[in-house]
């Protein structure tokens, strides 16, 4: 992750979270998980830790004696056992990049789909009879188990048993709703949401660049000014997100997404693969002499720990030297100056490249900060917050209206038996248009009503659609796709609803409801109200497509 800042105007503060008020209940534990394509990390803090600016990063991992900020996001299935991270021996085959298996084929680039690491991950999924969610769940299960052991050692098992967990997992901003839903399913299978005596474990997601921005802005000593614009580039192993935030106020800190964010599937794994191909091409048949451990030494020691973190794109011509294990050369010479890059004494001399845990913790405690209910029942948080975002998609629902031959096509004309007239179906009402600056404090909401017959069992669905076109159509055309289905169960008896009489005297019930939308990266959060009452998780479930 990297950030850059454009200077703004007045409104300096010493520390963005100074004065942040937390709930009176100290029996809380926030756990931030940065589940990455190539590496994953965990941070945790109690309210006491947080107020003392002490966020605990896990740096000790099974399989290594070194302190490392993150563990490799890799799995190996061996004799009925699951090895993960540093437990996997050097040179052993492992499954990596499986996070990207959660995405639909149409959302993957050709480079990703044809990459060796991705094809290996798919093969491992088939060979082990696993689904993409299973692979992610297996890794998260091991990561969670180690996290619990680490925190229990630090605080004591009895103390941890009495704490209510708030888990925040980072996700790429470009991920759509179905991918987030898959992550939630994987977290559930991993046991993260397992029932505990201390209370329900809450799980939320934060876009990776937003977590990066929180981490950067919340550094003690950083001076924030109104009008400052921060450009956040979160370059991970599988995805790259680019988002800009403008500071709108400094007391408390609030920021808005300056322009529509962008990103793509072009992360570090493809760079790793490109480097491996460069070495393979330069060494030719000598590369085939390398054992799996030898290849692992080149990729891990020489590349991952050596060249990759120190590489800079500057004007100065710098040489990057890669030591190749002697087994590659056999009895042949260790030198080859016939073409560039030169090989000298078994080393390739390359010139120029030739071919978010802490932020999750901040997000978690901001959500736990002292809050006040507004008239809609939502929260107004004190502390740093994102007050508006720029929607990357248009979001809306279908509706019926009176048929007008000058506006509607005959294909959409249908007889409405209840209202006893011709109506136009498949018409689109867009809550949010692509590029709209949408407030997170005042979400966009639309009101509807539905006439119900006597046999209505209290269950109904709301279909929410999306369109990536700059100008969405007025009717449900081929470029309008289903974003999610919201399944609701009426929380009061049907008899209590308003009565509607047809012309023939038949009595129906009229249900008034509203749908509220807040963009979040490349997807949206959805809330349904019935007669003004917000539907909780026990009465509502969302399935993203």
Of 157-161, 301-305, 341-345, the range with the lowest mean pLDDT is 301-305
The answer on pLDDT for 52 being more than 50 is yes
> In which region does residue 505 sit, left (phi positive, over 0), alpha (psi from -120 to 50) or beta (all else)?
left
The answer on pLDDT for 372 being more than 60 is no
Q: pLDDT tens digit string along 232-249? A: 776 766 667 777 878 888
Q: pLDDT tens digit string along 393-414? A: 898 899 889 999 999 999 999 9
Domain ranges of the chain: 2-264+359-368, 268-351, 391-544
DSSP 28-88: EEEEEEEE-SSEEEEEEE-HHHHHTT-PEEP---TT-SS--S-EE-EEEEETTEEEEGGGS
The C-alpha atoms of residue 483 and residue 53 are separated, in whole angstroms, by 39
Q: Which CATH code for domain 2-264+359-368?
A: 3.30.420.40
The answer on pLDDT for 16 being more than 70 is no
The C-alpha atoms of residue 430 and residue 475 are separated, in whole angstroms, by 10
Q: In the prediction, which pLDDT does 317 show?
A: 66
Q: Average pLDDT of the chain?
A: 82
User: Which token pair is 145?
Assistant: 């188990």
The C-alpha atoms of residue 67 and residue 76 are separated, in whole angstroms, by 22
Residue 366: pLDDT band (50, 70, 90) is low
Q: Which CATH code for domain 391-544?
A: 2.60.34
Q: pLDDT tens digit string along 494-527? A: 888 888 888 788 888 888 888 887 777 667 777 8
The C-alpha atoms of residue 243 and residue 173 are separated, in whole angstroms, by 9
Q: pLDDT tens digit string along 275-296? A: 888 888 888 888 888 888 888 8
Q: In degrees rounded to 5, what are phi and psi of residue 448?
A: -140, 170
Residue 533: pLDDT band (50, 70, 90) is confident
Q: In the prediction, which pLDDT does 120 show?
A: 87
User: Which token pair is 383?
Assistant: 């502390």
Q: In the prediction, which pLDDT does 311 show?
A: 66
Of 54-63, 210-219, 310-319, the range with the lowest mean pLDDT is 310-319
> In which region does residue 458 sit, left (phi positive, over 0), alpha (psi from -120 to 50) or beta (all else)?
left
Q: Where are the strands (E) in 258-330, listed by range?
A: 262-264, 319-323
Mean of pLDDT values over 74-99: 90
Mean of pLDDT values over 475-489: 91
Mean of pLDDT values over 225-237: 77
DSSP 106-143: GGS-HHHHTSHHHHHHHHHHHHTT--HHHHHHHHHHHH
The C-alpha atoms of residue 307 and residue 323 are separated, in whole angstroms, by 11
Residue with the bigger pLDDT between 375 and 535: it is: 535
Range list of H helices, 190-263:
208-217
Of 117-121, 143-147, 254-258, 434-438, the range with the lowest mean pLDDT is 254-258
The answer on pLDDT for 307 being more than 60 is yes
The answer on pLDDT for 318 being more than 70 is yes
Q: pLDDT tens digit string along 101-151? A: 999 988 888 878 888 888 888 998 999 899 999 999 999 999 999 999 999
Q: In the prediction, which pLDDT does 253 show?
A: 73
The answer on pLDDT for 81 being more than 60 is yes
Contact 64, 74 (CB under 8 A): no
Q: pLDDT tens digit string along 167-178? A: 999 888 888 889
Instruction: Give, as one character, the DSSP assignment of residue 314.
Output: -
The C-alpha atoms of residue 125 and residue 58 are separated, in whole angstroms, by 29
The C-alpha atoms of residue 474 and residue 408 are separated, in whole angstroms, by 10
Mean of pLDDT values over 257-273: 71
Contact 206, 360 (CB under 8 A): yes
Q: In the prediction, which pLDDT does 19 show?
A: 44
The C-alpha atoms of residue 322 and residue 318 are separated, in whole angstroms, by 13
For 159, the enclosing helix (H) or strand (E) is helix 157-161
Q: In the prediction, which pLDDT does 56 show?
A: 92
Mean of pLDDT values over 528-537: 82
Residue with the bigger pLDDT between 1 and 228: it is: 228
The C-alpha atoms of residue 407 and residue 343 are separated, in whole angstroms, by 72
Three-class SS string for 325-344?
CHHHCCCCCCCECCCCCCEE
- Considering only CA atoms, give the Rg of the chain: 27
Contact 247, 224 (CB under 8 A): yes
Residue 315: pLDDT band (50, 70, 90) is very low
> In which region does residue 124 sit, left (phi positive, over 0), alpha (psi from -120 to 50) or beta (all else)?
alpha
User: Which token pair is 302?
Assistant: 């020489």
For 276, the enclosing helix (H) or strand (E) is helix 268-283
Tell me the percentage of the chain whose pLDDT exceeds 70: 84
Q: In the prediction, which pLDDT does 209 show?
A: 78
The answer on pLDDT for 263 being more than 80 is no
Helix axes 268-283, 116-127, angle to 10 degrees: 110
The answer on pLDDT for 364 being more than 80 is no
The answer on pLDDT for 382 being more than 60 is no
Instruction: Give, as one character, the DSSP assignment of residue 89.
Output: P
Strand, coil or helix: 500: strand
- Tell me how long the chain is: 545
């Amino acid at each position: 992750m990297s950030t850059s800042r454009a200077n703004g105007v007045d409104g300096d503060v010493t520390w963005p979270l100074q004065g942040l008020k937390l709930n009176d209940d100290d029996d809380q534990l926030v756990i931030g998980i940065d589940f990455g394509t190539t590496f994953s990390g965990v941070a945790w803090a109690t309210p006491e830790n947080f107020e003392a600016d002490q966020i605990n990063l896990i740096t000790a991992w099974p399989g290594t004696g070194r302190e490392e900020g993150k563990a490799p996001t890799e799995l190996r299935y061996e004799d009925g056992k699951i090895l993960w991270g540093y437990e996997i021996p050097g040179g052993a085959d492992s499954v990596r990049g499986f996070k990207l298996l959660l995405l639909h084929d149409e959302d993957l680039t050709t480079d990703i789909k044809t990459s060796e690491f991705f094809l290996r991950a798919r093969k491992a999924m088939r060979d082990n009879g696993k689904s993409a969610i299973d692979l992610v769940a297996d890794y998260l299960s091991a990561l969670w188990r180690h996290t619990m052991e680490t925190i229990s050692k630090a605080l004591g098992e009895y103390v941890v048993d009495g704490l209510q967990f708030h888990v925040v997992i980072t996700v790429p901003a470009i991920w759509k709703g179905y991918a987030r839903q898959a992550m939630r399913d994987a977290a559930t299978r991993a046991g993260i949401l397992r029932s505990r005596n201390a209370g329900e474990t809450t799980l939320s997601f934060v876009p990776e660049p937003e977590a990066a921005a929180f981490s950067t802005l919340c550094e003690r000593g950083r001076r924030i000014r109104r009008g400052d614009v921060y450009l956040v580039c979160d370059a991970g192993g599988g995805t790259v997100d680019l988002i800009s935030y403008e500071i709108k106020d400094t007391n408390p800190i609030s920021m808005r997404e300056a322009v529509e964010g962008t990103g793509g599937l072009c992360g570090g794994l493809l760079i790793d693969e490109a480097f491996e191909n460069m070495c393979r091409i330069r060494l030719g048949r000598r590369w085939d002499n390398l054992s799996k451990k030898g290849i692992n030494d080149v990729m891990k020691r020489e590349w991952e720990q050596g060249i990759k973190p120190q590489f800079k794109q500057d004007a100065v011509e710098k040489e990057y030297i890669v030591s190749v294990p002697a087994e590659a050369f056999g009895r042949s010479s260790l030198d080859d100056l016939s073409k560039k890059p030169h090989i000298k004494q078994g080393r390739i001399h390359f010139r120029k490249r030739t071919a978010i845990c802490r932020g999750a913790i901040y997000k978690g405690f901001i959500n736990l900060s002292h809050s006040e209910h507004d008239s809609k029942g939502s929260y107004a948080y004190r502390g740093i917050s994102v007050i508006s975002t720029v929607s990357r998609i248009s979001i809306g629902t279908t509706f019926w209206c009176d048929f007008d031959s000058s506006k509607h096509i005959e294909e959409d004309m249908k007889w409405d038996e209840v209202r006893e007239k011709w109506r136009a179906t498949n018409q689109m009402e867009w809550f949010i248009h692509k590029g709209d600056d949408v407030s997170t404090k005042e979400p966009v909401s639309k009101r509807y009503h539905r006439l119900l017959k006597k046999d209505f069992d209290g269950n109904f669905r709301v279909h929410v659609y999306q369109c990536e076109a700059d100008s969405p159509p007025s009717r449900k055309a081929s470029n309008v796709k289903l974003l999610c289905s919201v399944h609701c169960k009426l929380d009061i008896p049907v008899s209590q609803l308003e009565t509607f009489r047809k012309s023939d005297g038949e009595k129906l019930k009229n249900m008034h409801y509203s749908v509220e939308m807040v963009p979040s990266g490349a997807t949206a959060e959805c809330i349904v109200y019935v007669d003004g009452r917000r539907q909780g998780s026990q009465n509502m479930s969302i399935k993203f497509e």
